[in-house]
Chain A
Amino acid sequence: MRLAPYLFAGPAVVLYVVFMLIPVLYAIWLSLRAYRLQAGGTFGRRVEVFVGLENYIGVLSDPELLASFGRLAIYGLIAVPLTLGLALLFALLLDVPAVRAKRFSRTAIFIPYAVPGVVAALMWGFMYLPSTSPFSYLTEQAGWGPIPFLTGSGLFGSLANIAIWGGVGFNMIIIYTSLRGIPDELYEAARLDGANELQIALRVKVPLVGPAILLTTVFALIGTLQLYGEPMTLKPMTNDISQTWAPLMTIYRDAFLTDNLPAAAASSTILALGTVALSLLILGIVNRKRFGARS
């Protein structure tokens, strides 16, 4: 009896320590060290030494990494609000009693959840590529030339579109499930007070599904910061995606192509800290609001 909970939680705790805690600590430790050439021998020896925050300073003053964070921010500012906004809109519309073809719409919008990001990027990539794009086909027929999906600033919208396409359905279902849990009496009360369906949606439903929206926001943010597979997949189709387009691509390059592990560890730590900080910020703001409303 005394031992039982430890045995039940044991496997999870061991796996958590081995595959999450230790890697995090290891990355932090690595990020504080660097390889140095030491005099001696003909070519010198490569040794690992403690360098404090040097890697962080180096990484944070690396214009390529900073630029990749900038691109990620633009991408996120397009993808996150649109994904959540559309998910909320679709969920609210599904909750309108008289709507037709509900099952069809719900299922169709949910389907992209089953498609891996890399495969989604592959499919959209061909729909962006001028030689195979149905959209560019139409604009070319009209004499306007192909749509620049894969060049210049068009890339942000194109990449964001892949994320929106893949994310709307899952978030919609979470918010919709949460909407179904609201008792009907609340709506009746609002109707008796003379509220119309739009007012009910905005003033009653949206605040009540707040926790679900919050949760999907945090997940969308975490997903955004992990952007990797999609730009990697589109990369062969365009010259405008560099080796360092997204932060994780830079980290991958540092770790495996240029063999600069300490820099990769430092950028990983910054990215993870940034994610945790952003998530806590959102959760904190919302909690304070809820707390304030309660008291």
Chain B
Amino acid sequence: MTATSVRVPLSAERRAAKPRAWGAILPTVILVIGAIYCLIPVIWVFIASTKSRGELFTTFSFAPGTGLFSNLADLFSYGGGQFGMWAANSVLYAGVGGVISTLVSAAAGYALAKFDFRGRDLIFYSILAGVLIPGITLAVPQYLLLSQFGLAGGPLSVLLPSIISPFGIYLSRVFAASAIPQEILEAGRIDGASEWRIFRLIVLPIMLPGMVTVFLLQFVGIWNNFLLPFVMLSNQGDYPLTVGLYTLLAKGSGAPALYSLAIIGAAVSIIPLICLVLFLQRFWRLDLISGGLKG
């Protein structure tokens, strides 16, 4: 007994030790190089945002400057506080759009996965085809249609098209199909619960992990979108951060003073989203995406 209990860990360790010496160093080094590559622009933008206008073009890129607070003050006072408005708009579009989109996708995914009804396959395959249509090529006809109803130009013209997410519906269907047992639904029906009640009290709680994933994908997707708000919006006060920062840079080619504003704006604008993604990383069910194709 003592002989085996000593021998087994020893031999296991010896087997593991060999590849560790050889097989771990190179992969670790490559991964760390990849990590540094991904962090360099982020580090650069934070350092550059501490530089005053003069320092930006004269000192070495990775040497910190002395202008952080005056840059911040400039940023938040620019155009009568426009930066704050852009940030609020981004939160509004991505937050409201993401929540509604998730609910709409979850309801549709549940219906497509758990009900047998006429037209189901037609709906599902039409929506699946929608995944392949690049959302951006839709922006121009969407603009023309919305302008016929007088909606183009305002915030609704960005919010409404962001709600429909074929991929979100597809993921919700995959998740509902695998996570919701048919017996629970039947039990609810036998107890006389209405379909709406079953959806609200049984289905939604079960689908929550999948919905968090759909919400995050939609939130980041809307937050990062540029063309749709760029095409739709006519009023600077309605811009989200992406379009706002772009206009800063585009004007900056005539007035380099705006360059430092664009840099500090970029630095400030990426902090909340990086925090959000890092914090919510563990709630992601990305196996949904990778596994979805098999099902």
Q: How would you classify the secondary structure of chain A's contact residues: helix, strand, loop or mixed?
A: helix
- In the assembled complex, which residues on chain A have CB atoms less than 8 Å from the CB atom of B96? none
Query: How many interface residues does chain B have, given as a range?
Result: 35 or more
CB-CB nearest in chain B for A4? B195
Quote the shortest CB–CB distance from B132 to chain A (angstroms).
5
Decide if A109 touches B246 in the complex (CB within 8 Å).
Answer: no
Asked, given contacts A12-B108, A233-B249, whether A174 binds B289 with beta carbons under 8 Å apart, the answer is yes
* A134 part of interface (Cβ distance < 8 Å): yes
Quote the shortest CB–CB distance from B125 to chain A (angstroms).
12
Quote the shortest CB–CB distance from B163 to chain A (angstroms).
6
* B208 part of interface (Cβ distance < 8 Å): no
Decide if A122 touches B39 in the complex (CB within 8 Å).
Answer: no
Decide if B278 touches A209 in the complex (CB within 8 Å).
Answer: no
Decide if B140 touches A265 in the complex (CB within 8 Å).
Answer: yes
Decide if B31 touches A261 in the complex (CB within 8 Å).
Answer: no
- In the assembled complex, which residues on chain A have CB atoms less than 8 Å from the CB atom of B253? 236-237
Q: Which of B6-14, B67-75, B77-85, B223-231 makes up part of the contact surface?
A: B223-231
Quote the shortest CB–CB distance from B14 to chain A (angstroms).
14
Asked, given contacts A9-B112, A119-B269, A181-B290, whether A90 binds B34 with beta carbons under 8 Å apart, the answer is yes
Decide if B62 touches A132 in the complex (CB within 8 Å).
Answer: no
Decide if B24 touches A113 in the complex (CB within 8 Å).
Answer: no
How far, in whole Å, are A222 and B28 apart by their CA atoms in the complex? 32
How far, in whole Å, are A157 and B161 apart by their CA atoms in the complex? 33
Decide if B38 touches A169 in the complex (CB within 8 Å).
Answer: yes
* B201 part of interface (Cβ distance < 8 Å): no
Bitwise, A255-268 to B at CB < 8 A (1) or not (0) is 11000010011001
How far, in whole Å, are A96 and B269 apart by their CA atoms in the complex? 35
* B236 part of interface (Cβ distance < 8 Å): no
- In the assembled complex, which residues on chain B have CB atoms less than 8 Å from the CB atom of A173? 284, 286
How far, in whole Å, are A218 and B293 apart by their CA atoms in the complex? 12
- In the assembled complex, which residues on chain B have CB atoms less than 8 Å from the CB atom of A113? 220, 277
* B199 part of interface (Cβ distance < 8 Å): yes
Give B contacts to A, CB under 8 Å.
16, 19-20, 23-24, 27-28, 30-32, 34-42, 44-45, 48, 56-57, 60-62, 104-105, 107-108, 110-112, 115, 117, 120, 123, 126-127, 129-130, 132-138, 140-145, 160-161, 163-164, 166, 169, 189, 195-196, 199, 220, 223-227, 230-231, 241-243, 245-246, 249-250, 252-253, 259, 262-263, 266, 269-270, 273-274, 276-278, 281, 284, 286-287, 289-294
